[in-house]
Amino acid sequence: MKKYIIHILLLTFGLMSCDKPLPTEIIKPDIPDDANVDIEVLSPEPDLFTYDIGYDTLGFVSAFPPDISVITVSGIKNSYNNLTFKRTTAFAVFIDTSLRFEREDERVIGFGSRLIGETSFNNIKSWVIPRTKKYRWKGEILDTLLGFSHLLTFNRGNNSLFPFPYESSVKFKLNPFVGNNFEIDIPTPTEITGKINASGSLKNRDLKIELEWNVANEGNIVIVVGGINPNDNAPYPLYKIRVRDGGKIKIPRTLMETFPFDRFKQIMFSFSRQKFVHNQFESGNIIVAQSIHNIKFNVP
C-alpha cells in the first residue's frame, strides 16, 4: 500500500511558460527524526517537463513518469482567500509499460495508455480524452500523444456524482471491447477540510507554517506541497508529505528553506484523505476514492 500512496493523489499538472527558465533542482530536505513525517520529492527537475491539466482539477498526482493504471474518484475543494469552489472528478487510465516514450536524448517522458473499453461511474458514461505529454527540448515545448484516458468532472448540476458522495460509494463499470465486464463499488472517505496557520516571513527567515485538518481516523493523510506558476497560475507538485491522521502538522523548516520561491509565486497545500479498495481487476493497479482540499497560500 505504501507504494500505491506514493503514486496516487491529487494527475497531470499545469502547462508551464514557453520562456526558457533557469534550471531548477528540487532536493529532499533534511528532516529531524522527531518530525514524524515522510517527505518525497515528486518533481526533482521541474524545468524538464510540462503538463496538461492541473491536479487541482483532476485530483491525481504521481511520481514522474506514472507507470501504473489508476481508477480514482475525487471530491475536490479549491480554496483561495475566502472563496472555496467544489468539484467532483472521476478518472481512469490503463497504462501499458511496454509503450515507452522517450525524448531525443532517450530520457523517458512517459508510458502509453490503451483504450480497452467504455467506462462509467454511477452509470454516467465517462469521456475519452487524449493524453498529450508536453516536454522541453533545447528550449522549446514539444508534445507527443501517449494514448487516452477516461474522465468525468462536475462543478455543478444535479446527478449522482455532484455533490461528491462522501462516506458512501461510487460504482465503477468497465465494458471492455474484449472479455467480460468489470464492476466494483468504490467506498468514499470522510470529507477533509484543511487550514493553514502561518507566522513570521521569508524576508526575516523566521517563516513557520502549521497545517490543520479534521480528524477521521481513516488511515494516513497525504499532503502535496506545490508551487503556483506565475505565468499561468497553474499548480506544479513538488513534495509529497505522508503523516498520520492526527489533525495537525508543522511543516519542517528545512522544507521551506529548500522551496524554490524564486520560481513560484505562491504555495499550494493539498490535503488528501484516501480510501483504497482491493483491486480485483488486475494485480498492481490502483482503485481509490479521495477527499481533497487544495489551498493556495500567499507566503508572507
pLDDT tens digits for range 204-255: 888 899 999 999 988 889 998 988 877 777 788 888 888 889 999 998 888 8
8 Å CB contact between 55 and 237: yes
Q: What is the model's pTM?
A: 0.83
8 A C-beta contact, residue 240 and residue 42: yes
Q: Tell whether the model's pLDDT for residue 19 goes beyond 70.
A: no
The H or E element containing residue 72 is strand 70-80
Arithmetic mean of pLDDT over the chain: 79
DSSP state of 81: T
Question: 146 near 133, Cβ under 8 Å?
Answer: yes
| 4, 49, 134, 179, 296 from 274: Cα distances, Å | 11, 27, 29, 30, 21
Q: Which of 1-10, 112-121, 225-234, 256-265 has the lowest mean pLDDT?
A: 1-10
Q: How far apart are CA 11 and CA 119, in angstroms?
A: 18
Alpha carbon 9 to chain centroid, angstroms? 4
With contact defined as beta carbons under 8 Å apart, do 222 and 194 qualify? no
What pLDDT score does 67 carry?
66
295: pLDDT strictly greater than 90: yes
Helices of type H across 137-270 = 253-258
Distance CA 69, CA 72 (A): 10
Element (H, E) at 84: strand 83-93
Measured over the CA atoms of residue 160, residue 161, residue 164 and residue 170, the dihedral's sign is positive
**Residues whose CB falls within 8 Å of the CB of residue 32, separated by 6 or more in sequence, listed in order:** 252
C-alpha cell, 33:
527524526
CB 104 within 8 A of CB 142: no
Residue 287 near residue 186, CB atoms below 8 Å: yes
